[in-house]
Amino acid sequence: MERRGTQQANRTYRATHGSPEPVRVWLLGGFRLFVGSRKIEQGVWRLSKAQTLVKLLALSAGHRLHREQVTELLWPSLGKEAASNNLRQALHATRRALDPHEGSRYVLSQNGLLKLCPEGTVWVDVVAFEGAARVPNTKG
């Protein structure tokens, strides 16, 4: 759950800076992620589970998942409390990787849900590929 101070800071930032930059995620042919024009380099990810968290959210409907779903997927053999602690660490590492100062704008935890870029745009190569594959071929 976000703290009141963080929520107020986010509202103030949005009022002066607008929406977050678009997030673009490549999963086919290797993981790559851009926030606006800035590539998030491999060395920035402090935890591999932070990358996995972004991948899960990118592929989920609405780019959101319930916290319990995430903990069950990432730490199936851990108890609820240990998995929840690990999720907090992964969430912190994810936010720091995406934007060290405004990371909570890119991964929000609210009312038991985690959401990738809740107030911005997320583009995912897998989703774009699936959409293109569904377009009927009109050429004979």
Q: What is the pLDDT of residue 11?
A: 52
Query: How far from the centroid of its chain's Cα atoms is residue 2's Cα?
Result: 16
User: CB of 78 within 8 A of CB of 137?
Assistant: no
Q: What is the pLDDT of residue 139?
A: 67
> 18-45 burial, b if ≥16 CB within 10 A, otherwise e?
eebbebbbbbeeebebebeeeebeeeeb
Interval 121-125 mean pLDDT: 93
Q: Which domains does the chain have, with CATH numbers?
A: 4-134 (1.10.10.10)
Query: pLDDT tens-digit profile of 67-93?
Result: 999 999 999 999 999 999 999 999 999
Q: Is the pLDDT of residue 9 over 50?
A: no
Tokens encoding 74: 């990432």
104-115 residue pLDDT tens: 889 999 999 999
Question: Global pTM?
Answer: 0.81
The Cα–Cα gap between 105 and 21 comes to: 10
Q: Would you call 49 exposed, middle or buried from its count of C-beta atoms within 10 A (0-12, 13-18, 19+)?
A: buried
Q: Find out whether 110 and 2 touch, Cβ atoms under 8 Å.
A: yes
Percentage of the chain exceeding pLDDT 90: 69
Q: Residues 87, 130: contact at Cβ < 8 Å?
A: no
